A and B are shown apart, each in its own frame.
Chain A
Amino acid sequence: MAEILLWQVALTALWFVLISTVEPLEVFVGLGCALVGAVAAVAARRAVSGR
């Protein structure tokens, strides 16, 4: 769970760097996309390390 949260924070930060204008809707969309990416990243690491 902590790993997913860490990924989400990092990916949200990346989102804020890449978007042109920061507004509330962008924050929500970014958090959502970052969550999906975080779950995928953790799943990928588990698949690679075989756990």
Chain B
Amino acid sequence: MNAWLACAALLLVAGLLPVVWGTARGPLGHRAMAQNCGTSVVCLVMLLLAQGYGRPAYTDLALVLAVLGPVGTLVFARLLADELGEAPRWARPATALAVGATALVVIASCVATGPGRAAVKVALVGVLLAAGNVIASRDLSAAHRDGGHG
């Protein structure tokens, strides 16, 4: 097991357990926000595994997840707008943490990959993931605020 795999395992435990806990209990709005964070966790784990196992193909999974995850959250925000209730207090810190972790993992992956198209691809995944997370999180909070008109 190398450092990448150790980080992936750590992120899987420290990131995915709170996500599962958050999606399994509490008000609906909190659950939707927790599953939004789940996208970031799994996507970053995929990027770390791609480095750890030396399989660039895993980056494709991260790319697909970075595109479809926030879209899924936007669908939740639209369809459940009437029932979302109050936004969780930890929404902003959780989003900031996810974006920070994304930056950290993506920069490390880019440095390890070296200059080239592969590094640009990893950076693209990171930008999509961070931007998607922020947009989806803001949309969820707006749906909370507007009480069904978001």
Contact = CB atoms under 8 A, between A and B. Distances in A.
A10 B86 CA distance: 40
Interface residues of A, number: 5
B67 to A, nearest CB: 11
Contacts of B25: none
Contacts of A16: 117
A18 interface: yes
A25 interface: no
A17 B120 CA distance: 7
Interface of A is mostly: helix
B75 interface: no
B124 interface: yes
Interface in B95-126: 117, 120-121, 124
B63 interface: yes
A14 B63 CA distance: 13
A17 B119 CA distance: 9
Interface in A1-51: 14, 16-18, 20
Nearest to B120: A17
A48 B124 CA distance: 26
A18 B122 CA distance: 10
A18 B119 CA distance: 11
Interface of B: 56, 63, 117, 120-121, 124
Interface of A: 14, 16-18, 20
10 contacts: A14-B124, A16-B117, A17-B117, A17-B120, A17-B121, A17-B124, A18-B63, A18-B121, A18-B124, A20-B56
